[in-house]
Amino acid sequence: PLLNKSEDFIGCIYLDKRTDTMPFGDEHRDLIKIFSSYVGISIENSRLFEKIQKEEIVKNNLKRYLSSSIAETVINKTNLTLGGKEQDVSIMFIDIRNFTPLSEKLTPRQVVDLLNSFFEFASKHIFDNKGTLDKFIGDCIMTIFGAPLEDNKHADNAVKSALAIKKEF
């Protein structure tokens, strides 16, 4: 049998000889036991590695919309449930002033580069102030402060974020 560290059955190895002249001896059985232990450990390590990779993918996807600290908290929270709850939050919409006339004068590549740099720049300030990206709408970013984790300073954080973006962009 193949067993993991907890002695749980995870598979088996079947060996057969083509001739009956020399049956498996004790030394063969010991070697097979050692081999099956290594195979069981390898299978368990492979499963753990796969689990870690999946968790990394989830974490990286969360970090696209949440600040690192909020993403870590959400990942480590064990009692998350569907349905949500009612709480006070601040919603902030940010867009580039006169974007349409500006985009008409730029090449498509320049428009994409401008949007990417704006989104990256704004996201940094949003995350620095505990904001959560909700969606991108053209040149607009919809942001929530105070969710998914409650924050008593959500309004202050939204204003700080807006002022930092306005000042530097």
pLDDT digits (tens, 9 = 90+) for 58-98: 878 777 777 777 777 777 776 666 677 788 999 999 999 99
Gap between the Cα atoms of 65 and 140, Å rounded: 15
Q: Which runs of E-coded beta strand occur in the chain? A: 2-3, 9-11, 90-94, 131-137, 140-145
pLDDT of residue 79: 67
Determine contact, residues 147/130, Cβ cutoff 8 Å: no
- Percent of the chain residues past pLDDT 90, beyond the cut: 37
The pLDDT score that the predictor gives to residue 78 is 63
Averaged over 125-135, what is the pLDDT?
A: 90
CA dist 69 to 74, 93, 127, 131, Å? 9, 22, 9, 11
Instruction: State the chain's mean pLDDT as an integer.
Output: 86
